[in-house]
């Protein structure tokens, strides 16, 4: 029960003489107060004071009201929820965004420069295509550190002359000898064929047939 303090008054006329009963009452109040303190625990126990454990932690029951203390488990489950405050992965106005099971989320087609760009919008603006792939074998004789170039005509003149053309070239040596990784190659499209530049970055000379694979690509940007 709650402890009710006694208002002490001076002198016999005060009517509050110091008696054994009065002193025992104070002692009991001290005992009761210590009992409440001693019952403090770090566990989630009802109607007890909270005492941190040796690691500085204390537990509470899961919250049921907005003003309750939130537990780690409650926060973790809330953070890992697949539907938080009506969040959705679809392009829905005035809703929070949450990724779907594949880690993706959808947005409406952008209209302002600061809007998020969608894949469809980017694909429409930047179009990439491989026009053709050619493979050809050339006898290469390059010392270590030397450069060379060659031209291969693959089309009748003027057949392929489009904006945004570029060439991806790779080199492959199938016979024994210097590894192809020592050959650095690049290429450009020159009207109706490939102009390929080679640099032997390897430590050994290359004197053997080398197969080159060239892809003629186009990027069209609106």
Segments forming the whole domain that contains residue 144: 126-221
178 has pLDDT over 50: no
159 found inside a domain: yes
92 found inside a domain: no
Residue of 207, 181, 183 lying closest to 197 (CA atoms): 183
pLDDT in tens, 113-172: 999 999 988 888 777 788 888 898 988 898 989 999 988 888 776 556 666 777 888 888
Q: Over range 96-104, report the average pLDDT.
A: 91
* Average pLDDT value for the chain: 84
Number of domains in the chain: 1
What's the CATH code of the domain at 159? Answer: 2.70.40
Q: What number of other Cβ atoms are within 10 A of residue 86's Cβ?
A: 10
202 found inside a domain: yes
105 found inside a domain: no
Burial class (CB in 10 A: 0-12, 13-18, 19+), 178: buried
**Predicted pLDDT of residue 176:** 52
217 found inside a domain: yes
Place 1 in a pLDDT band, splitting at 50, 70 and 90.
Answer: low
Tokens coding 32: 């009761």
Distance of CA 171 to the CA centre of its chain: 36
146 found inside a domain: yes
84 found inside a domain: no
59 found inside a domain: no
């Amino acid at each position: 029960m709650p402890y009710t303090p006694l208002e002490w008054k001076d002198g016999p006329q005060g009517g509050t003489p110091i008696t054994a009963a009065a002193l025992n009452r104070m002692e009991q109040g001290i005992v009761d107060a210590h009992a409440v303190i001693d019952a403090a625990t770090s566990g989630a126990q009802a109607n007890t004071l909270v005492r941190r454990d040796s690691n500085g932690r204390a537990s509470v029951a899961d919250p049921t009201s907005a003003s309750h203390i939130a537990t780690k488990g409650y926060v973790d489950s809330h953070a890992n929820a697949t539907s938080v405050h009506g969040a959705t992965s679809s392009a829905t106005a005035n809703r929070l965004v949450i990724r779907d099971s594949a880690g993706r989320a959808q947005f409406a087609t952008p209209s302002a420069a600061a809007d998020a760009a969608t894949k469809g919008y980017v694909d429409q603006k930047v179009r990439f295509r491989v026009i053709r792939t050619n493979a050809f074998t050339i006898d290469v004789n390059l010392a270590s550190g030397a450069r060379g170039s060659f031209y291969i005509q693959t089309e009748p003149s003027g057949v392929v002359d489009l904006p945004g053309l570029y060439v991806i070239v790779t080199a492959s040596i199938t016979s024994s000898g210097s590894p192809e990784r020592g050959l650095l190659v690049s290429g450009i499209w020159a009207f109706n064929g490939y102009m390929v530049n080679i640099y032997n970055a390897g430590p050994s000379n290359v004197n053997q047939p080398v197969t080159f694979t060239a892809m003629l690509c186009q990027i069209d940007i609106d």
